[in-house]
Amino acid sequence: MNSGLSILTVEDNPSDHLLLEHMLRSSGLAIRRTRSACTIREAYSILVAEEIDVVLLDLMLPDSFGIHTFINLKPVVQRIPVIILTGVSDTNVALEAIKEGAQDYLVKAELTESLLSKAIQYSLERKRTLEHLRVSDERFNTVVKATNDAIWDWDLVNDKFFIVGDTYKQLFGYNIVNAYPPDDLRESIIHPQDRDRVLRKLSATIREGTASNWEDEYRLKKSNGEYAYVHDRGYIIYSADQRPIRMIGAIQDITQRKRSEDELALQQRLKQQQITEVVLGAQERERFELGQELHDNINQILATSKLYLDVAIEEREPRLELLIKSRNNISMAIEEIRRLSKELITPSLNDLGLIQSIKELIRNIQVTGKMKIRLSISGLDESALQPEQKINVYRIIQEQLNNILKHAEASSVAIELNKHREQIRLLVEDDGRGFDPRMRRYGVGISNIMSRAELYNGKVEIDSSPGKGCRLEVILNEKALPEQA
């Protein structure tokens, strides 16, 4: 790697050029080589073809004059420090060139080796600093684009709010790019229902001076009048005496996420509503069936018993036969009430156990002789199940067996119950008359089973066809869905 500076002098006056060459040699700077040009055209060619570290530029040249001299070179000196050489009369032009990007200017009549050396060193250092800042800005702008956040910088001392980059424009439509927005815009576009809350929280965070971070979610009005949900967060910078002096932050558009959350919440509310409707419907059905059983069966039995007793009281013969019939009818009514009670009251699963309760349920059905039921249980540890899980499994089996008794005309039923990892699997299969699931709407019983499965994020599959029986498979996950607020 070459050491030392490569300096280009652009000067058409031979005397001034010789003086500069002498001063450069006497300056003590580490100079590798010097190049010279008399015109802008020549200087441009050298800068394009060679590596130059510093340019000493006279503004009065044969092919260029004044500020245009620097402007003509500007495309090829973006990263090269340029020091303007000027006479006393054109220092204003030199200052104009500095505004355009030149690093410094020197008045020829006041020029010394020391002054020239310092100007070159300072110009190089300033240019390096500006280059580092440019690279840092490019990196920052790249990060801003990558995050898709609108970055802002708030000068708390002077209350100046600055929008960085063009993401704010892309997200919300306001034509504010690397600029200060109007003073009243920032607060006015916060949704009226959110404004006081957001501003109070922000003001309290800054005023208390104890936290470095602030964040909030609110609705922000876009340029087209629509509102976007945003997540706004900022980092507070404090002075040495712990005064908040600056705040840097980022605004993220979370509208899509919010809509997805709202949609999910709505779906869960609808699902919970459906479950509630099914449960209420089941309760109404149970009340109706209970009332029907009491009126059509037990009430008739008791009414007949009362008639027998009335006759027995009024007449002597055949008193004994009537009393025996009354006793038998009352026994029958007691058995019917006991049967209804078993159906309505959940067995004490904690005392009797799930498996034993299922066996008891099957035994009570088989006593009627209407169908045979085969039970197979594997991999099920009752001690690992919650009481609610046991009740749901029991009720699903009870519900399906009742469906089979009422509608299927089946002679045999197979029940399989097992647990694998975090799932409970239940299979109930009968050889009844079956049905076409496409043509038949599910009744309250199946709806109840589906609702219980949904409570445990499970699923229900029904496979049936006319004359081929019915196969019901229920999968329950170990963890229930979270309750909705």
- Would you list the DSSP string of 11-79? ---HHHHHHHHHHHHHS---EEEEEEESSHHHHHHHHHHS--SEEEEESEETTEETHHHHHHHGGG-TT
User: 221 with 171: CB under 8 angstroms?
Assistant: no
Distance CA 469, CA 409 (A): 9
Percent of the chain with pLDDT over 90: 41
At the topology level, CATH places domain 347-485 in Heat Shock Protein 90 (3.30.565)
At the topology level, CATH places domain 148-253 in Beta-Lactamase (3.30.450)
Distance CA 275, CA 474 (A): 17
Distance CA 37, CA 85 (A): 14
Residue 181, CB half-sphere, CA atoms under 13 Å: how many?
Answer: 23
Give me the count of residues in the chain.
485
Domain boundaries, the chain: 5-143, 148-253, 261-345, 347-485
Collect all residues with Cβ–Cβ distance below 8 Å to 95 and sequence separation of at least 6.
105
Q: Which pLDDT score is estimated for 27?
A: 87
Read off the tokens for 352: 């009797």
Q: Which pLDDT score is estimated for 485?
A: 38
pLDDT tens per residue, range 213-222: 999 999 999 9
Distance CA 12, CA 61 (A): 6
User: 349 with 395: CB under 8 angstroms?
Assistant: no
Distance CA 147, CA 371 (A): 67
* Bridge partners, residue 429, by sequence: 414, 471
Read off the tokens for 401: 């067996």
User: 366 with 330: CB under 8 angstroms?
Assistant: no
Cα 249–251–255 angle (5° rounding)?
160
Q: Which pLDDT score is estimated for 474?
A: 94
* pLDDT (tens place) for every residue of the chain, 485 residues total: 457 899 999 999 999 999 999 999 988 899 999 999 999 999 999 999 999 999 999 989 999 988 999 999 999 998 899 999 987 667 788 888 888 888 888 888 888 999 999 999 998 998 888 888 777 767 766 666 666 889 899 999 999 999 988 889 999 999 999 899 998 898 999 999 999 999 999 999 998 877 889 999 999 999 999 999 999 999 999 988 888 999 999 999 999 999 898 888 888 878 777 776 676 666 666 666 666 666 666 767 777 777 777 777 777 666 777 778 778 878 887 777 777 666 665 555 656 788 998 998 898 888 777 789 999 999 888 888 888 888 889 889 988 998 898 888 999 999 999 988 788 999 999 999 998 877 755 666 787 888 888 877 788 999 999 999 999 999 988 765 544 43
Q: Which pLDDT score is estimated for 296?
A: 63
Q: Which pLDDT score is estimated for 143?
A: 67
Q: What is the CATH number that goes with domain 5-143?
A: 3.40.50.2300
State the DSSP code for 298. I
User: 413 with 428: CB under 8 angstroms?
Assistant: yes
Q: Which pLDDT score is estimated for 1?
A: 46
From residue 123, give the alpha-carbon distance in Å to each of 84, 129, 238, 271, 463: 11, 10, 33, 72, 85
Residue 7, CB half-sphere, CA atoms under 13 Å: how many?
Answer: 25
Distance CA 275, CA 432 (A): 29
Determine how many CB atoms are found less than 10 A away from the CB of residue 125: 12
Q: Which pLDDT score is estimated for 294?
A: 66
Would residue 162 be called left, alpha or beta, if left means φ above 0 and alpha means ψ between -120 and 50 degrees?
Answer: beta
Please report, as a single letter, which amino acid is at residue 445: G
Q: How far is CA 277 from the centre of its chain?
A: 31
